[in-house]
Amino acid sequence: MATLPVPLHAWSEHQVALGLPPPPGTRTPLPVANSTKAFWFTDPNAYPAPDEGSEGPLTSDADICIIGSGVTGVSAAYHLAHAFSQDENLVAELKRPVKAIILEARDFCSGATGRNGGHLTPDKWSDFVRLENERGLDEALRTLAIERHTADELIRIMGQSGKADYVDLTHGGRLILLFSDEELAKVKANYEASKAAGTNMTGVSWLSKDDVWKQYGAPYPAVFIPGNNLWPLKAVGVLYQLAASASSNFFVDLHTHTAVTAITPISLSNASSHGPFPRRHNLTTPRGQIGCSYVLHATNAYVSHLLPHLTGPSGVVPTRGQVMAVRAGVPADELSAAGGIGNEGLEYWFPRPVKNPAEDAPLVIVGGGREVTQPGFEFYETDDSVVNPAVGKALRAFLPAAFPEKYEEDRAPELEWTGVMGYTRTGDPFVGRVVDSSRGDTAELDGQYLSVGYNGHGMPRAFACAEVVAGMIVSDIRKQKWEPPNWFPKSYLTDSPKPVS
Ligand SMILES: Cc1cc2nc3c(=O)[nH]c(=O)nc-3n(C[C@H](O)[C@H](O)[C@H](O)COP(=O)(O)OP(=O)(O)OC[C@H]3O[C@@H](n4cnc5c(N)ncnc54)[C@H](O)[C@@H]3O)c2cc1C
């Protein structure tokens, strides 16, 4: 058995390092220019154009400003569009559609969403025992329910809009390779607890080392779970198109290459009235100012640039991840269509569907390797214009070591890139009103919301978190009480108790 090029059992050290204070003077910067090119940006026909709305006049007034054009920001626009499509009363009062703007510092969807591993896999049980012990059964079940809801919804939307093929949606499942007896026991315990709690385990199968070797070519036991992959940038483009065309009651504009550098309050005495809600925030961008009533921070890893109280381990820790696209060493019919996860989720991979007959072998997207940078784990690294050579070396060696007969050791990747994730100490995203308990006067935070910090696992959560935060904004506009959906974990809410640092 080849030696794996990554240290095993690194997760506990990862969590210790995540809890350490940031290096002195750390302030999360804006996203850097000249980011590395992710595979997802290689199709020139993807829409909208990467630099949509980067030139010409800036929309200077909106009801709702969404900062960030990743899956969170664009999903929020999608949910707002659907909520307002039926709202004839509000539109009659405004005498115009509800107006939203998405503001993006770089190209459309060029943050984590446009640079990720392409997995859309709801987690069934990987942390179930801890969640049940710490938060109780109902909350543990909701952490599974939100992921199922997200994946089901994204699959439904891509299917109903006829875009499943455009976004390369696949359902090949996920092989969780278990590299040690310790990892096998832990995954099994979580599986048993989750199953006992009534989780639907359809499609889950446990495989011995011999089974895995015969079927997949890796000499380790594993558990197979259902799972999906897609082209994340294109899926977000579809959501944007659907939001923009949902109804004449809602108008969404997109300005890329328009970073928000500051948010300042507009005093209510100066605020111009816009029907039922006054403008209360001024957003500064290099292209001019924008007045708005509501702000949604959908900036994930970068959230503390505009909200500095979220700097450090009790906030959102920016964390650089690395991915590469490399050809398998065998043709598609000799490689399983399943994606995979290994080493406590730190490595992940999946073979892209082969669409071009000229391709002799599938292109495999493989990411991870941060644990070779211990004790740093790439925390507080925000420069995605470079790759880390040590991580790259581990990633190049990982698949040939795990699947010795399926990958070639000396095969160079066709592309290699980085992106910045947002980690939180609880593992939960922060969703809801912006809350800064250190500030006495929070009036200037009124109307500001966020949904950030998905811990490298945003594809099966962000769409639903955006649904929640959009629902809060809609309820506030309608002066209705907001009620959480039954699939939403309450521990994600910004005003739920968090551990103190
Ligand atoms: C390398 C890597 C691999 C990953 N693999 C997976 C995976 O396989 N499966 C999975 O589920 N998750 C994965 N993730 C995590 C997942 O991609 C994220 O959780 C998710 O995309 C977060 O979406 P978002 O919209 O919240 O953030 P982002 O996609 O990061 O979007 C935030 C946007 O805000 C913009 N922005 C920031 N600050 C400002 C500002 N001041 N003004 C204007 N714009 C601003 C950024 O440029 C960015 O485009 C991975 C992430 C990375 C980096």
Give strand pairing partners of 120. Answer: 228
Site to substitute for ligand 1 among 349, 421, 467, 469, most atoms within 8 A of C-beta: 421
What ranges make up the beta strands (E) of 236-371?
250-255, 262-265, 273-274, 277-278, 281-285, 288-297, 317-327, 339-342, 347-351, 363-367
Backbone phi and psi for residue 65, each to the nearest 5 degrees, phi listed first: -105, 125
Structure tokens at 89: 């009363």
By residue count, the chain amounts to 501
- Lining ligand 1 with CB less than 6 A are 30-31, 67-73, 103-106, 110-113, 115-119, 259-260, 298-302, 305-306, 321, 323, 348, 367, 419-421, 454, 456-460, 462
Q: State pLDDT tens for residues 341-390.
A: 999 999 999 999 998 888 999 999 999 999 999 999 999 999 999 999 99
What integer is the mean pLDDT of 142-157? 98
Average confidence (pLDDT) over 212-234: 97
Q: pLDDT tens across 37-68, in order?
A: 999 999 999 999 999 999 999 999 999 999 99
Report the percentage of the chain scoring pLDDT > 70. 97
Q: Report the candidate in 468, 395, 396, 398 with the shortest Cα–Cα distance to residue 220.
A: 398
- Residue range 147-172: mean pLDDT, rounded: 97
Q: How confident is the model at residue 501 (pLDDT cuts 50, 70, 90)?
A: very low
> 105 Cβ partners below 8 Å, 6+ apart?
30, 31, 257, 258, 259, 260, 302
Residue 88 CA to ligand 1 centre (angstroms):
34
Mean pLDDT of the chain: 94
Q: What is the pLDDT of residue 273?
A: 59
Confidence of residue 441 (pLDDT cuts 50, 70, 90): low
Q: Which residues contact 167 (CB under 8 A, 6 or more apart)?
A: 158, 230, 231, 234, 235, 238
pLDDT at residue 188 tops 50: yes
- The secondary structure of 30-96 as a DSSP string is PPPSSPPPPGGG--TT-SS-TTTT-SSPPP-EEEEEEE--SHHHHHHHHHHHHHHTT-HHHHHHHTS
Domains defined along the chain, listed by start = 11-41+170-228+314-423 (3.30.9.10), 62-112+233-312+427-492 (3.50.50.60)
- Tell me the angle at which helices 71-84 and 462-478 cross, rounded to the nearest 10 degrees: 40
